[in-house]
A and B are shown apart, each in its own frame.
Chain A
């Protein structure tokens, strides 16, 4: 079955540590996205990538970093510079040129302890 997978589902981090969230898709999609969602809030764009080896900052990129070395993978690193990292993180992908349907992973809930 094709889909988009995020791991882990729950993640706990100590203050001051970097942590990497995984996002893998086997849909052969070119575009991939990372969003942050706080309780009762909308989805805010962190980074997006339109093609391998290229990515662009979204609206809240500070304290985050990404890479896109393979088409299938778009990991997100939450660095110690992110002052309030506790949130629900969602990864999405979509086929370029398509009517704008994005497919989402099941999310990673990150908690700083």
Chain B
């Protein structure tokens, strides 16, 4: 089956750097995405890796290594508003639009 595993919770302080990992047991997908969800809200798109390597978008960076079946989201200069849940996601199995999400990581940022 297809599964994406993430740590359930990560804590950090304001100004710090945190890395959220995503390991997967699947293949044949187009790319790895990351979404942010605040409590009670809708997920919003953060970043996408179609190719192996690092993608940088402001304070957020994302990395993919298909050979290691692994990706991560790196958040720098953490702010209180970054406290949320973060999900990795993959799409495109067997040339379909199937889009599945990881188990999610809850990030708590402390002052």
Contact with B42, one of A30, A31, A56, A105 (Cβ below 8 angstroms): A105
Question: Are A100 and B100 interface neighbours, CB within 8 A?
Answer: no
User: Interface size on B (CB < 8 Å)?
Assistant: 25
Are A43 and B87 in contact (CB-based, < 8 A)? yes
User: What CA separation (Å) do A58 and B2 show in the bound complex?
Assistant: 11
Distance to closest chain A CB from B64 (angstroms): 12
Of B13-21, B44-52, B68-76, the one contacting chain A is B44-52
0/1 string, A41-84, CB within 8 A of B gives 1: 11111001010000010110000000000000000000000000
- With A99-B50, A104-B42, A105-B42 already in contact, the answer to whether A42 and B98 are too (CB < 8 A) is no
Across the two chains, which residue of chain A brings its CB closest to B8? A40
Which residue on chain B has the smallest CB distance to residue A35?
B101
Instruction: Say whether, besides A41-B103, A42-B104, A56 and B87 are in contact (CB < 8 Å).
Output: no
Contact A106 B41 (CB under 8 A): yes
Within 8 Å by CB of B97, from A48, A90, A104, lies: A48
Q: How far is the CA of A100 from the CA of B89 in the complex (A)?
A: 9
Cα distance A46–B44 when bound, in Å? 19
Is B106 in contact with A40, judged by CB distance below 8 angstroms? yes
Q: Please name all residues of chain A whose beta carbon is closer than 8 Å to the beta carbon of B101 when the two chains form the complex.
A: 35, 42-45
Q: Does B99 contact A (CB under 8 A)?
A: yes
Q: Which of B42, B44, B97 contacts A50 (CB 8 A)?
A: B97
Q: How far is the CA of A58 from the CA of B57 in the complex (A)?
A: 31
List chain B residues, Cβ under 8 A from A1: none
Report whether B104 and A101 are in contact in the complex, using a CB–CB cutoff of 8 Å. no
Interface membership of B67, Cβ < 8 A? no
Report, nearest first, the 3 A-B pairs whose CB atoms are least far apart: A104-B42, A43-B101, A31-B97
What is the interface of chain B, defined by CB distance below 8 A to chain A? 30-31, 33, 35, 41-45, 48, 50, 87, 89, 91-92, 96-104, 106
5 A-B pairs besides A30-B97, A50-B97 with CB distance below 8 A are: A90-B43, A100-B33, A101-B45, A102-B35, A107-B41
A-B contact pairs, 13 of them (CB 8 A): A35-B101, A56-B96, A58-B98, A59-B100, A90-B42, A96-B97, A99-B48, A101-B48, A102-B45, A102-B89, A102-B99, A103-B45, A106-B42
